[in-house]
Amino acid sequence: MVTLARESRGMTMGELAAKVGVTSSLISKIEHANREMSEERAKGIASALDYPVDVLTWREPVYGFGSSSFYHRKQQSLPQKALKQIQAFVNFQRIRAKRLSSALDLDFALTIPSMLVEDYKSPEEVARAVRAAWRMPIGPVQNLTEWIEAAGGIVVAREFSSAKINAISVWPPGESPFFMLNTLLPACNLRFSLAHELGHLVMHDVPEPGQEEEADRFAAEFLMPSREIKSQLRGMNLTIAARLKPVWRTSMGALIRRARDLEVITDRQHTSLRVQLSQKGWTKDEPVQIPHEKPTLVDEIIRVHHVDHAYSSSDLADMVGLYPPEWFELYESRGLRVV
Ligand SMILES: [Zn+2]
């Protein structure tokens, strides 16, 4: 927990040591559990990290990128320190959501099923099976976040310090599936990422080769079912893509790719459309914005604690190991704090 708390603050061992007034080798020994901490020392470290000292005594599992239940999308050349800080932030968000919800008897209408591709022949079949199990109406998915929350998934949307990570999901044994979205990215990209992460949680128990392509195929079919979208993709060009974007709430790029994957346009036409997108500068910043989906489950859990249990904000801050100012900033203000 010392490591996690330190990384969540973006500090190196040396920086923490300097702030506490000890050597970095002592911090290293503590973090590697080679040295017991006195209560006084723990208080000093907690205070340097601006967390209540309780946090350092938690015994919560921590997951790293690439561990079996931790998926992420598009992580390019992010500096190690920034990566660790985001990873620590996600772990803390997950642990806090668990602490907030564990006191409640939550009951969800749906569940996120486990379905192996081998049993369903293709990721597309799995996507159709999940839509059927959830009794989703045909056509576009209006609000994907709402469906995932109805299935007990916890979704947290925040602005990360970098646009190099779209979304992260983790589903530890015995916990709720947890998703984190980076709101620096446009809503349609995040919807695709969220569907991609859902695909991982449904189809993949352990990391396997080909899982990224499978998750992408799942996401494409889940958000743009072939049977319903194919006829609308005919004659695909930028005007059609821009017109379909607010209907299907997927990016123009994804719609153009879908047209190729469903063989409505040729590879050559696809390439030409991508070139046109890029000439207009639309591969980075597309026209026709759609609003971000707003998760509501965590807010609802907090509301229940306040209204039904008469917990004050500082009780809740205590419950999740934060001092009240940070609790307010992260959970009870409308602003989205930068990770
Ligand atoms: Zn992935």
pLDDT score at 284: 81
50 domain residue, yes or no: yes
Number of domains the chain is built from: 1
pLDDT score at 334: 61
Q: Are 27 and 20 in contact (CB under 8 A)?
A: yes
Distance 276 CA to ligand 1 centre (A): 28
CATH code of 32's domain: 1.10.260.40
Distance 333 CA to ligand 1 centre (A): 31
Distance 287 CA to ligand 1 centre (A): 26
Report every protein residue that has its C-beta within 5 angstroms of ion ligand 1: 71, 73, 212, 215
Distance 280 CA to ligand 1 centre (A): 28
Residue 210 has a CB neighbour count (10 Å cut-off) of 10
Distance 242 CA to ligand 1 centre (A): 26
Q: Supply the DSSP symbol for 332.
A: I
6 domain residue, yes or no: yes
43 domain residue, yes or no: yes
Distance 184 CA to ligand 1 centre (A): 18
Residue 309 has a CB neighbour count (10 Å cut-off) of 11
Q: Which of 279, 278, 261, 266 is closest to 235 using CA atoms?
A: 266
92 domain residue, yes or no: no
pLDDT score at 70: 57
What is the phi/psi pair of residue 90, to 5°?
Answer: -65, -45
Burial profile 39-63: b = 16 or more Cβ within 10 angstroms, e = fewer:
eebbebbbebbebbbebbeeebebb
Question: First-to-last CA distance in the chain?
Answer: 18
pLDDT score at 166: 85
CA separation for the pair 260, 254 (Å, rounded):
10
Residue 104 has a CB neighbour count (10 Å cut-off) of 13
Distance 155 CA to ligand 1 centre (A): 16
Distance 152 CA to ligand 1 centre (A): 20
CA separation for the pair 313, 305 (Å, rounded):
9
Q: Are 170 and 71 in contact (CB under 8 A)?
A: yes
Distance 21 CA to ligand 1 centre (A): 42
Distance 71 CA to ligand 1 centre (A): 6
9 domain residue, yes or no: yes
Distance 23 CA to ligand 1 centre (A): 40
Distance 66 CA to ligand 1 centre (A): 10
CA dihedral 139, 154, 73, 290 (to 10 degrees): 50
Q: Average pLDDT of each block of 10 consecutive residues along the chain (339 residues)? A: 94 96 95 86 97 94 67 65 87 94 88 95 98 97 97 93 84 88 93 94 86 95 98 97 97 97 97 96 88 93 92 94 94 62
Distance 177 CA to ligand 1 centre (A): 15
Distance 105 CA to ligand 1 centre (A): 31
Starting from the edge strand earliest in sequence, which strands make up the sheet with 178-182, in order?
70-72, 167-170, 178-182, 154-158
pLDDT score at 336: 47
- Among left, alpha and beta (phi > 0; psi -120 to 50; other), residue 297 is alpha
306 domain residue, yes or no: no
pLDDT score at 58: 93
Q: Are 147 and 110 in contact (CB under 8 A)?
A: yes
Q: Are 170 and 90 in contact (CB under 8 A)?
A: yes
Distance 193 CA to ligand 1 centre (A): 8
Structural domain including 1 reads: 1-59
pLDDT score at 339: 47
124 domain residue, yes or no: no
154-158 vs 70-72, strand pairing mode? unpaired
Q: Are 148 and 167 in contact (CB under 8 A)?
A: no
